[in-house]
Amino acid sequence: MKFKQLHRWPLMILLAVLIGISAATTVVLANNNTLTVTASVVNVRFGPGLSYNTMGQVQKGGNLTILKKQNSWYQVRLAGNRVGWVASWLVHEDAATTSAAKVARTTTNVNVRQYASSSAKQLGTLSSGSTVSVLYQSNGWSQIQYNNTAAWVDSSLLQLTGATTTINPTQTAIATAKATTPTLKATTTLAANVRQTAGLNAAVVTRIAKGATVTVLSQSGDWYHVRTADGKTGYIASWILSMPGASTNKAATKLSEATIVIDPGHGGNDTGALSTSGKYEKTYTLQMAKAVGAKLEAAGAKVVYTRSTDTYVDLAPRPVVAKKVHADAFISFHFDSTPNANTASGFTSYYYNASKDKALATNLNKALGSNLSLTNRGIAFGNYEVLRDNDQPSVLLEMGYINDDHDFKFIESSTYQQTVAADIVNGMNAYFAAGNHQ
Ligand SMILES: [Zn+2]
């Protein structure tokens, strides 16, 4: 079994965890929409994309509260106020569960709790005979609207009146969800110090053996706030933790799960190469990037551009974008040129790291080669900074020779750009379908 090191988790995961923490400590006003899991089991991920690690799973029939929708993903709240993401095609959004609530009356004085548990924090008390709106009931607990939030009371202390009422969703903050997910467990790869705060100089709370299992509560930079098997909490350096489950994650093989970074070469006062008529490479890299991005978005992918206008962007920040958004693929567009015009023709797909990038280059090149009129010069190793410094699967596509008049006629035509875009979508689909992702 392959173990995934926790310290590889990127910034976005940290953000997701931080969002989870802040959601736990503040009242969040959210649309009171829920969804039902329709697949046999759904992975809940740290971010909206297949390259994010799984933080838990929800079984078929489980309900989740929707916080927002992004691309083809729902951000949902899990038990314990944790926040994660699920793929939209594996769940069914049911608005009906929330528009109406059942009216009930308390039969005695009732404690109102934050979660469906008698040990959960008490938010207040309802006196006997109070009227409440019941959002839903489960396992002997009723979720009610309470002080513009959602809270729980023991169902046996309520009597439904038979009437229903309408809830204004924007006024009801959802404090919890019915779904239960396994908590995130990690295993120490070495004997580990559990520290009071995140940092090597912090006081040691306890020391645990190699192979010990801890529950990850949150992330703080390179450190994880954990709870040990004997209930102590503290911080462990992420680089000595591994998460078993990660390698068994069944990532769906869909482009619509993916985040793709599109990198139009050059820009601003970096014009790139010139056509024989003096047209700039930067103009066509941007046109092509936008054509490709639009088609990828139409296919459900999340697209992030390193530039979307005619502005100068240095080389170094471009791969950083891919890392930041945890991109499933990074595609850079350029057009070749030769010292003497009209001496070379065709398109080439470049990769840098054979194990990380070559499958992407191969799949894209194959799709492009299927119908483009220009000569396919194949795939090749290319020592480009945007590939070399890229942690994500990345390719650089030279989509024709700009100072070749035959090629340029294609480069500037929107038909060619649209065909390339459609080919990239096909190539990405083939790439994912073949299981080429983390
Ligand atoms: Zn270029």
* Tens-digit pLDDT profile for residues 114-126: 777 777 788 899 9
Distance 272 CA to ligand 1 centre (A): 5
Q: Are 87 and 42 in contact (CB under 8 A)?
A: yes
C-alpha of residue 7 to centroid of ligand 1, in Å? 34
In this predicted structure, what is the pLDDT of residue 250?
Answer: 36
How many degrees, rounded to 5, is the angle at CA 213 between CA 212 and CA 217? 135
Asked if pLDDT for residue 18 goes beyond 50, the answer is no
pLDDT at 164: 84
- What is the Å distance from ligand 1's center to 12 Cα? 30
Higher pLDDT, 108 or 29: 108
Taking the centre of ligand 1 as the mean of its atom positions, its distance from the CA of residue 357, in whole angstroms, is 19
Chain Cα centroid distance, residue 65: 17
Predicted confidence at residue 225, as pLDDT, reads 82
Cα–Cα distance for residue pair 188/7, rounded to 1 Å: 12
Average pLDDT of the chain to the nearest whole number: 80
pLDDT tens-digit profile of 30-89?
335 777 777 666 778 777 776 676 777 777 777 787 877 776 678 887 766 677 888 776
Tokens of 425: 């979508």
Distance 320 CA to ligand 1 centre (A): 19
Q: Which one is predicted more confidently, 364 or 47?
A: 364
Higher per-residue pLDDT: 89 or 346: 346
Q: 356 CA distance to ligand 1 centroid (A)?
A: 22
Cα–ligand 1 centroid distance for 336 (angstroms):
6
Domains and CATH numbers, the chain: 4-94 (2.30.30.40), 97-171 (2.30.30.40), 185-243 (2.30.30.40), 255-433 (3.40.630.40)
pLDDT tens track for 185-243: 778 877 888 999 888 888 899 999 888 888 877 666 667 888 898 889 999 887 777 76
Residue 334 Cα to ligand 1 midpoint, Å, equals 4
Q: Which two tokens stand for residue 294?
A: 């639009």
CA of 383 to the centre of ligand 1 (A): 13
pLDDT tens digit sequence for 136-186: 777 788 878 787 666 789 999 999 998 887 765 433 333 333 333 345 677
Pairwise CA distance, residues 215 & 232, whole Å: 10
Residue 221 is predicted with a pLDDT of 60
Q: How confident is the model over 86-112, as a mean pLDDT?
A: 74
DSSP three-state, residue 61: coil
- Which residues are near ligand 1, the ion (C-beta closer than 5 Å)? 265, 272, 334
Can you tell me which residue has the tokens 């509260």? 65
State in Å: Cα 396 to ligand 1 middle: 9
Distances (CA, A) of 190 to 101, 209, 233, 244, 345: 52, 7, 18, 15, 56
pLDDT in tens, 236-274: 887 777 764 333 333 435 788 788 999 999 999 999 999
What pLDDT is recorded for position 17? 46
Residue 394 contacts residue 357 (beta carbons within 8 Å): yes
User: With pLDDT > 70 as the criterion, what percentage of the chain qualifies?
Assistant: 78
Rounded to the nearest whole angstrom, what is the distance from the C-alpha of residue 269 to the centroid of ligand 1?
13
